[in-house]
Structure formats: C-alpha cells, structure tokens
Amino acid sequence: MVGPVSVLLGDQNCRIYLCGTKSDLLEEDRRRRGVDFHDVQDYADEIKAELFETSSKTGQSVDELFQKVAEDYVRFTAFQLMTEEKGGIDLSQRSSPYFYSCCHH
C-alpha cells in the first residue's frame, strides 16, 4: 500500500474495509510501498476486515471493493429483516427468500 489506509468504523455489526490506495505507483517502483503487504493483511485478519489495494488512476480493484460493500449490505439487510420479523432465526424454514439470499451465495 502506498497511500493512506481508510477504515470505516461503526457499531459492532459494522463491516470494516481497509483500502490501500495508489497501487498504480507500485507498478513503477515496488520500493514505493509505504506499508508491508503482509503486515496489513495480518492486521486485516486480526480485526476481521476486508482488504483491497486500489488505484483510482487505473481503476484497479475499485469495482471489486464496491461490489463487496454492496454484497455485504444486501446480506446484512436480509439478515436484519429476517431476525426483526420473527424475533430470531428459524432454521427449519429454508424456503424463506430471506434465508436463501442471506445464507447461500
């Protein structure tokens, strides 16, 4: 990662996404890496975060980052709806559209 690392924090149900920017600069010179990738990956694993190295200049991994955020949002929203409606999760009702969208890829 060359640029700043962004961390989006919220309540305990919040997903965390680490985004290292300016990865296009590494194509020119690998020594420009500001943070060791393995150190960042270890940190992301420790805090249960998703890690992306992106470049707004080339578009590298930008689509993947937004796709992951959108997928996580849909999964979390479906899970919330399912638990709020019934006050819990009924695993015996596998035919529920919420169960399918939340728990199957």
Question: Domain check: are 82 and 31 in the same one?
Answer: no
Alpha-carbon separation of residue 98 from 13, 57, 80, 81, 105 (angstroms): 18, 38, 9, 8, 12
Indicate whether 29 and 43 sit together in one domain.
Answer: yes
Q: Are 66 and 54 found together in one domain?
A: no
98, 104, 100: which is closest to 77 by C-alpha? 98
Residues 49 and 74 in one domain: no
- Structural domain tally of the chain? 2
pLDDT digits (tens, 9 = 90+) for 38-65: 999 999 999 999 999 999 999 999 999 9
Locate 7 and state its tokens: 């961390």
Model confidence, pTM:
0.59
Predicted confidence (pLDDT) at residue 74 exceeds the cutoff of 70: yes
Q: Are residues 1 and 23 in the same domain?
A: yes
Q: Are residues 45 and 1 in the same domain?
A: yes
Q: Are residues 66 and 52 in the same domain?
A: no
Instruction: Say whether both 27 and 44 belong to one domain.
Output: yes
Please determine, for residue 4, whether its predicted confidence score (pLDDT) is greater than 70.
Answer: no
